[in-house]
Structure 1
Amino acid sequence: MSTFLGSVWWMIVSLGVLVTFHEFGHYWVARRCGVRVLRFSVGFGKALWSRRGRDGTEFAIAALPLGGYVRMLDEREGEVAAADAPQAFNRQSVGRRIAIVAAGPLANLLLCVALLWAMFVIGRPDFAPVVGHAEGIAAAAGLQRGDTLLAVGERQTPTWSEAALALATAALDRHDTPLQVRTAAGATVSRRLRLSQLPADVDQPQAIARIGLTPRHQLLPPVIGRIEPGSAAWGVLAEGDRVTAIDGVAVANFDDIGPRVQAIGARAAMVEVRRDGERLALEITPRRRVDPQRGSYWALGIGPAMAPLPAYDATLHHGPLAAVPAALQETGKLTRDSLGMIGRLVTGRASVENVSGPITIARYANASAQLGPAWFLNFLALLSLSLAIINLLPIPVLDGGHLLYYLIELVKGSPLSERAMVAGQYIGLALLAGLMGLAFYNDILQLLR
C-alpha cells in the first residue's frame, strides 16, 4: 500500500472509531434522558449504508468520513406532534441538555483512557533515553555520552519519547529545568538545563536539536555519504569511506568527527578510513568556515550516510491492573500538555505552525500504524483526547459553545434569544473556518518543506 493510500485509509479508520464513540456518547445519554434520536450518522452526505433500530433511530454510514452527527427530535428544526413533544431535545431541562451535549467529549475522554490501557498492556516498543552526544546547553549542564535521563522536571522518562516530549515542552516555556540522570558509571545525579538561554525563535520541533542533545539511537555511523566540491576532503576522501580515527583518536560515530576537526584547527592531520576492505591513512588540512548561527569553525566538507534506526531497546509496559492507574495518569499528563499548548498558542509563546489539519493527521495515522498496534493505539488515544478538548472549547457550533449557552441560561434563568444564538453561530463558523484554513495552510507548508 502506497504512503498516500495508507494515510487515507488509516485516517478514515481513526476518524471512524473516534467519531463513532463521540456520537455514541450523545446518543446513549440522550436516550437515557428520554430524548428521541432520529438519526445517528458516521460521516456526512449521502448514506452508503443505513438501518433502523428498534427505538426508531436510523443508523447510517455516510460518504464523507470527516465527522458525524446525532440528530434529535427538536421543535426548533421542524414541526413536532404534541404527543411527541416531551421527547424533544429543546423541551428537556438545562441539566439534561448539558449532560447530553457533554457526553460526546466525555466519551472521547473515556476512550482515551481505554486506548492507553490497551497500549500499556500490549507494551509500546521505544528507545531508551540514553544520551549519544551533548553540546551547547546540554553539555553545559554536564550531560555526557552514556547518561540516561530518568526524569525531566517532575516527569518520569522511561523511554526517549517521554523524555523528548518533556524537554520540548520545557523548551517552549524557556524555564531552567532540573534533570535526574543516571551516568554511564551507574551513579544517580542531578543536572540543570539552562533553557532560559534558548533563543526566542525556538519552536517545538527544533527544541531538542537547539538544546544540543542527540539520543544514542540517532547517532550515525562514521560513514561518509557526501563530499562537498572544493572542500578539504574533496579528492582525498570518498563516499562510502568509514572514518576510524582522526589524528590518532578513534572515531565511533559521525558526531565524533566535528570535535576532532575543531581540535586540529588549521594544521594537517591524518584521517584513517576503511575503503573496500583496506585501511588507509590520508592527510587532510581542515578549512575555516563562517556560519551566521555557528560562527567560525573548521570543516572537512563531508556529510553522513543515512542509516536505518537500530532496534528498539526499551518497552513501555504494565500488567492489566497496573495499566489502569498508568492510563489515568497518562491521560492527565496529556491533558495538561494539550491545554498548555493551547495556552501557549493563545499567548504567542508557541508558533501557530503547531496547529495541524487532516493531512498531518493522516500522515501520523499511517506512520503510527506502520510502527505497530501499540503505537497506533497511542496515536488514537491522543487524537481522541484532542477531539474531546477541541469540542469543549467555548466556540459556538462546537459542543463547548452549546454548553456555554446552557450555562448562561442557568445563570440568566431563561434561554438566550434566537438573535443572540444566531449571531453566535456566525461567529463560531467564522472562527472554525479560520482555524481550519490555518490548519490546511500548515499542512501544505509541511508537505512543501
Structure 2
Amino acid sequence: MTSFFGSVFWLLVTLGVLVTFHEFGHYWVARRCGVKVLRFSVGFGNAVWKRIGRDGCEYRIAAIPLGGYVKMLDAREGVVPPQFESQEFTTQPVWKRILIVLAGPGFNLIFTVAALWLMFMLGRPDAAPIVTAKPQSMAAVAGIQPGDRILSVDGREVTTWSDSLDAVANALLGRTPLPLDIRDPDGAQRQLVFPLDKLPPGQTIDQYFTTLGLRLASPPAVAATVLDGQPAALAGMQGGDRILSVDGKPVADFETLGKLVQQDAAVSPKLAIVVERNGRTIPLEVVAERESLQGRPADWMIGIGAPPMETATLRYGPLRALHEALTGTWRQVTQTFGMIAKMLGGEASTKNLSSVIGIAQMANASAHMGLAWFLQFLAMVSLSLAVLNLLPIPVLDGGHLLYYLIELLKGSPLSEQAMAIGQYIGLVLLFSLMGLVFYNDIHRLLLS
C-alpha cells in the first residue's frame, strides 16, 4: 500500500511540474504575441483552487490532474468585445498561431535539456557496466563472458550500466544488429555483435531482454566480511577468502555461491567448501543454518558478506553537462520518432507503450533512487510529452499545427465543419491510444 501511495504522490508531482511547464509555454508565447489569455489551468474539471490575476486571467488547479490547458480569447466561443478584438486568437497571423502551438512542446524540450543538465552536474550514481550472460542466451552465444566490461554500444561510449542498458534497449526495439566494444577482466579488448535482427517481431522489451540474456555481473565469490559466531567463522573462513567450490561444484561469482548454498544445504546442511587464501587452497566444513531476516522467508545462511559492486558516477562540469544534455535530448527525440515509425509499420510492438500507471511506478522508483535519477525520469517524460503533442492528431498541438500548415498552403483557414470532423477523429484516436496503453499496463500488472 505504501508503494501505491508513493506512486500516486510522485505521479502528481511529475504531472504537476511537466504540465505546468508545457502550458506556461503556450501562455508565455501567447502573451508575447498579443493574445489575451482568459484561463491558465493545470488539470481538468472543477477548480480546487483559483484566483484572478491583475491581467484578468484566471489561474486554477483543477480536480483531474491528467493534463491542462490555456484558454485564449477566441471568436469561435463567443462575442468578442470591440476593445479586445486585436487580442483575439483567430485573427492573429498564422505564423503567430504556429508559434503559440509549438511553444508547449518547445518548453517541454527546454525542460528536458535543463533537467538533464542539472542531473549531469549533480552526478548520477550507478553501477559500472560489468556484465555476464545467461547460459545459451543470445549474449552468451555472441561472446559475452563473466566480468566483461562494456566500453561502447553502437559506437557510443558508455561508462555506467544504465547507459549501456538504455542503448541496448533502443536497439532491441528496433531489432537491428548491435556492435559492442568489450574489455575482459584481464584488460584485453574485443568487439562483438548482438544479432538483434534475428529476434521475432511483435514482442515486448522484457521478452527481448530475456532472450538476449545480458545482465549485470554479480560480485566475485569473495568473503568480504565473515560474521563472528556464524557457520563460516566457526569453520575457519576469514575475510578476503575466495570461495572456489561448494560440494565439488565450481563457484563463478557470489550469486552462484548463494544458489549453491541454498540448493545443497536443503539436502544436507554440512557443506564442503574450498577457499583460496594467499595462494593456498584450503578445504573447510561449514554447517549452514536456516534463518529468517527482517520477516522474510527462512533461508540457509553461512554468515558472510559480498564485496561491494564497482560503481560509476556520471558527472560533468557545466559546459560538458550542457553538451551532453543537448546531444542526449536530440538522440532521444530521433529515437522516439523512429520508434513511432516502426510501430506504425508493424516492426515494433505497441505492447511497449505505458499509461499513467506505468509512469506512476517509474516515478516512485526513480524518486527513491535519488534526485539525479528523478531528474532524468522527469526529462524523459517531458520529452515524451513533447513528442506526443507534436503528433498530427487533431485535439493535440500537432493537429492544430497541421491545420495552420494547411492554411498556409491554401491561403485560407479550414472550414469549421472540416475542423469539427478532425476533432472527432482526433478524439477517437486519442481514446484508442489511451485504451491501448491502459490495457498494456493492466496486463503487465496481472502477469507480475
TM-score range, shorter chain: 0.7 to 0.9
The one-character-per-residue Cα deviations of 1:75-133 (angstroms, maximum 9, x if unpaired) are 00111112211100011000000000110000000000000011101111111111134
Partner of 1:61: 61
Structure 2 CA distance for aligned equivalents of residues 344 and 304 of structure 1:
48
Amino acid at match of 1:374: A
User: Structure 1's 309 and 84: CA in aligned 2 closer, same or farther, altered over 3 A?
Assistant: farther
Structure 2 CA distance for partners of 1:221 and 1:354, relative to 1, 3 Å: farther
Q: Which residue does 2:445 correspond to in 1?
A: 447
Please give the alpha-carbon distance, in whole angstroms, between the structure 2 residues aligned to 1:82 and 1:45: 30
Shift, 1:340, TM fit: 2.3
The amino acid that maps onto 1:111 is: F
C-alpha deviation, 1:176, in angstroms: 2.2
Q: Which one-letter code corresponds to 1:323 in the other structure?
A: A
1:145 maps to 2:146: yes
3-state SS in 2 of match to 1:89: coil
The alpha-carbon deviation at position 212 of structure 1 amounts to 2.6
- Change in CA separation of 1:8 and 1:396 when aligned onto 2, cut-off 3 Å: same
Which residue in 2 is equivalent to 1:156? 157
8 Å Cα contact 2:108/2:385 also seen in 1: yes
Q: Letter of the aligned partner of 1:105 in structure 2?
A: P
For the pair 1:108 / 2:108, whether they are aligned, the reply is: yes
Q: 1:55 to 1:221 in 2, by over 3 A?
A: farther
Q: Distance in 1 between matches of 2:439 and 2:398?
A: 25
Secondary structure of residue in 1 paired with 2:42: strand
The question of whether the paired residues in 1 share the 8 Å contact of 2:271 and 2:286 is answered with no
1:117 aligns with 2:124: no
Q: How far did residue 154 of structure 1 move?
A: 2.3
Equivalents in 2 of 1:93, 1:190: separation in Å?
A: 56
- Deviation, structure 1 residue 200: 4.0
- For 2:377, the equivalent position in structure 1 comes to 379
Aligned to 2:52: 52
Give the CA deviation at 1:333: 1.6
TM-score by length of structure 1 reads 0.81
Shift of 1:52: 2.0
- Alpha-carbon distance between aligned partners in 2 of 1:219 and 1:357, rounded to the nearest angstrom: 39
> Which residue is 2:250 aligned to?
249
Q: Structure 2 CA distance, aligned partners of 1:176 and 1:86?
A: 57
CA separation of 1:441/1:245 partners in 2, compared to 1, >3 Å: closer, same or farther? same
Contact 2:74 2:88 in 1 (8 A): yes
Q: Encode CA deviations 1:158-201: one digit per residue, 9 max, x unaligned.
A: 11111112222223333222111122112332222222333445
Shift in CA distance, 153/408, structure 1 to aligned 2, threshold 3 Å: same
The 1:36–1:309 alpha-carbon spacing in structure 2 relative to 1, beyond 3 Å, is farther
Q: Which residue of 1 aligns with 2:168?
A: 167
Whether 1:78 aligns to 2:78 is yes
Look up the match of 2:286: 279
Opposite residue 347 of structure 1, the aligned amino acid is G
In 1, the alpha carbon distance for the partners of 2:83 and 2:184 equals: 75
Which residue does 2:184 correspond to in 1? 183
What does the per-residue CA deviation read over 1:235-258, in whole Å, with 9 as the maximum and x for residues that have no partner?
xxxxxxx99435363453445899
User: Structure 1 CA distance, aligned partners of 2:387 and 2:113?
Assistant: 14
Return closer, same or farther for 1:157/1:76 CA change in 2, 3 Å cut-off: same
Aligned to 2:292: none
Q: 1:363 aligns with which of 361, 364, 382?
A: 361
**Equivalent residue for 1:216?**
217
Match of 2:376, SS state, is helix
- C-alpha displacement at 1:134, in angstroms? 5.1
Tell me if the contact between 1:273 and 1:280 (Cα under 8 Å) persists in the aligned partners.
no
1:72 is displaced (CA, Å) by 0.4
Q: Which amino acid aligns with 2:71?
A: R
- Contact conserved, 1:409 with 1:416, CA < 8 A, in 2? yes
Whole-angstrom distance in 2 between the partners of 1:33 and 1:48: 30
- The equivalent of 1:18 in structure 2 is 18
Gaps of 5+ in 2: 224-242, 261-269, 275-283, 289-298
2: CA distance between counterparts of 1:393 and 1:304? 55
Q: Which residue of 2 aligns with 1:2?
A: 2
Superposition RMSD in Å: 3.0
Per the alignment, residue 233 of structure 1 pairs with: none
- DSSP 3-state at the match of 1:70: strand
**1:356-376 CA distance string (max 9 Å, x none):** 111111111111101110111
Asked if 2 retains the 8 angstrom alpha-carbon contact of 1:74 and 1:89, the reply is yes
Aligned residue pair count: 396
Q: 1:83 and 1:248, CA in 2 relative to 1: closer, same or farther beyond 3 A? A: closer
Alignment partner, residue 197 of structure 2: 196
Query: Cα gap change, 1:421/1:201 in structure 2, threshold over 3 Å: closer, same or farther?
Result: closer
Match in the other structure for 2:390: 392
Question: Following the alignment from structure 2 to structure 1, what is the Cα–Cα distance between the partners of residues 391 and 300?
Answer: 46
Q: Once the 2 structures are TM-superposed, how far is the Cα of residue 29 of structure 1 from its aligned partner?
A: 0.5
- Unmatched 5+ residue regions in structure 1? 223-241, 260-269, 282-302
Q: Supply the AA of the counterpart residue of 1:279.
A: V
Contact conserved, 1:52 with 1:58, CA < 8 A, in 2?
yes
